A and B are shown apart, each in its own frame.
Chain A
Amino acid sequence: MTLFSQTGQAKREPQTKVRYSFLYSRKIAPYLFISPFIISILILYLYPFISAVKMSFERVLPGQVFFVGLDNYERVFNPVFFRALQNTSVYVLLTVVILTVIPLILALMLNHRLTRFSNFFRAAIFIPALTSVVVAGTVFRLIFGESDQALANQFLSLFGASALDWRYGSATAMFLMVAMASWRWMGVNIIYFLAALQTVNKDLEEASQMDGANAWQRFRYVTLPAIKPIIVFLVTISIINGFRMFEESYVLWETSSPGYIGLTVVRYIYQQGIRNNDMGFGAAVGIILLLIIFIVSMIQLYATGAFKRED
């Protein structure tokens, strides 16, 4: 309407409105809200992801880059990589089982009406999650020292067992890595389970008790179905985090472990890509790791029926 107006003032008004109207627009505002995030995703996720794929087909030297086709991938399948993959797989298997079953049992106890001091126990078991992996590594190296006098070996001697070279044996090395991860993450997973247990239908639980269901039956048919989504979630992130493991190994052995006993896939990426400056090769290992994680997660999600109920 103002278009037809001839006065100068009326002409200027729509102009200022145009200039600032986007601040008032409900259509544009959401895009402004999400734009910093989208830009960061493009720079920090999409670009590196595409480069990683590209890099895995290249030989990257300072100042020059050659396309080498599948060369890097052919080199990946060597005994050292398989050793890393084997270590990582054992680690994933152990941490997934330990960090799902034990926290579930402890959460059920903490949630039980007969448990006293449950707030204290929850806080106490959570505290290790606050420590950095370096702090955890420092303590574990002290407790599991090689000397006969170190705590763990003294403890073994109580049972007449001989002292162990914890960080220098294959099985004990795996034990240390799994123990460290379990120590740090136990409390976190308990919190997840406790949150999930609050969603269990109390009426259904009481009704089943009235009907004479015993504790195991109540758990099996009432509690378990209700917390199944969280179990699937925790198993999935435990698998992903397990395959990503690097830090536990690094703080136990720094740059190299004797006879590859602490070598993991990500550690192999770090060694080859950063330390040996062979970025193309490191990227190829990374892509293979991504495929492994993807396949294992899919099998797991399929096996637990996570796809069936989803919309």
Chain B
Amino acid sequence: MVDHRHEKLISLSMLAVLSIFAFLALFPVLSLLVASLSPATDLMRHGLSPELFFSKFDFQNYVAIFTTEAGDRYWDWYLNSVIVSSILIALSLLFSSMVGYALAMYEFPGKRIIFILVLLVMMIPFEIMMLPLFQLVITLGLVDTYFGTVLPLLVAPVAVFFFRQYSLGLPREVMEAARVDGCTEFGIFFRIMVPLMLPSFAAMAIFQGLISWNNFLWPLLVLRSNDMFTLPIGLATLLTPYGNNYQILFAGALLSIVPIVILFLCFQRFFIAGLTSGSVKG
């Protein structure tokens, strides 16, 4: 038998290593919390000094974000982020679930090519096509619009892949029965299959929502006016050394991750399913 002291030693050393990494992961989040509760001008001048961790909390930044004009602008960005993410989740889930479902449930000429196309699209970096897409968006007059902001994310190959894998497990007998009852192919999908696929929709809603909520480079090009900015773009404008709204930056940065962290803690399972979807073979 393996001796228990040996096991205990292994167990403790692993616990120590994992604790160090957990600390490294959480420390910046804690730092942000402390920063949001510290005087903003001090922070900008001296960075985050250790004393601030132990000094009295100062709620000035939060007062500013709820009462000042700059604070109002912050909530505009927040609203924009919510709208943009909602549009993206709705459209990309609709499109990609239909493709994933069709690839899994039907036999049709061209099916293999479509699937290869999905994988190919996964590999071409967006940055290569960024400039022509930007030109296209200008031509279509979509600069500074919600739709222009979500446009490149509408094609979601990872989601297609995920929905295909999920649909492979759907019951085909139900399909046949519904056809006999005179249901259309679309009716089968929307009325029977979508309810069965709800867990996969939840996983992809979270996955796409996270991508959209944190998306940076494309919105940076497309969004021009302050009242259309999403959270990352708006907060980035506050990062400049010439700014004078640091209060909004620190409180705002923290408030921007709060809903996501809460969602994550409640729906961890879906987050993880969404993430691993692109990699699991089969």
Contact = CB atoms under 8 A, between A and B. Distances in A.
Interface in A189-214: 191-192, 195-196
A135 B217 contact: no
A80 interface: no
A3 interface: no
Contact of A109 (B18, B50, B136, B210): B18
B151 interface: yes
Interface in A145-193: 145-147, 149-151, 153-154, 183, 186-188, 191-192
Interface stretch (B41-49, B67-75, B195-203): B41-49
Contact of A135 (B43, B101, B124, B253): B253
A130 to B, nearest CB: 5
Contacts, number: 284
Given A40-B95, A183-B24, A192-B276, A27 B127 contact: no
Nearest to A255: B240
B123 interface: yes
B249 interface: yes
Interface of A, secondary structure class, is helix
B120 to A, nearest CB: 9
Interface residues of A, number: 100
B121 A45 contact: yes
Given A45-B121, A125-B25, A145-B46, A114 B10 contact: yes
Interface residues of B, number: 94
A146 B125 contact: no
B241 to A, nearest CB: 9
Interface stretch (A5-13, A89-97, A217-225, A242-250): A242-250
Contacts of A297: 123
B184 interface: yes
A287 interface: yes
Nearest to B280: A195
Interface string A244-288: 101100110010000000000010011001100001001100110
Nearest to B277: A195
B131 interface: yes
Residue of B22, B50, B179, B231 with most partner-chain A CB within 10 A: B22
A55 interface: yes
Contacts of A186: 21, 25
Interface of B, secondary structure class, is helix
Nearest to A278: B131
Residue of B24, B125, B131, B271 with most partner-chain A CB within 10 A: B131
B234 to A, nearest CB: 9
Contact of A49 (B128, B185, B231): B128
Contacts of A154: 49-50
A235 interface: no
A136 B280 CA distance: 29
Contact of A25 (B31, B121, B134, B185): B185
A303 interface: no
Contacts of B24: 183
Contacts of B125: 240, 243-244, 289-290, 293
A191 B127 contact: no
A269 B133 CA distance: 14
Given A121-B18, A139-B35, A244-B126, 14 more contacts: A34-B103, A37-B96, A37-B99, A55-B131, A109-B17, A115-B15, A116-B15, A131-B214, A134-B235, A139-B28, A141-B239, A149-B47, A195-B279, A273-B130
22 contacts: A24-B179, A33-B101, A33-B106, A40-B154, A40-B155, A52-B128, A102-B21, A130-B261, A132-B232, A134-B253, A142-B35, A143-B48, A147-B47, A149-B51, A188-B275, A192-B276, A192-B279, A195-B276, A246-B216, A266-B217, A273-B131, A286-B129
B7 interface: yes
A190 B19 CA distance: 15
A49 B129 contact: yes
A41 B132 contact: no
A151 B48 contact: yes
A150 B124 CA distance: 40
B158 to A, nearest CB: 11
Contacts of A299: none
A119 B146 CA distance: 38
Contacts of B108: 27, 30-31
B124 A290 contact: yes
B147 interface: no
Nearest to B236: A134
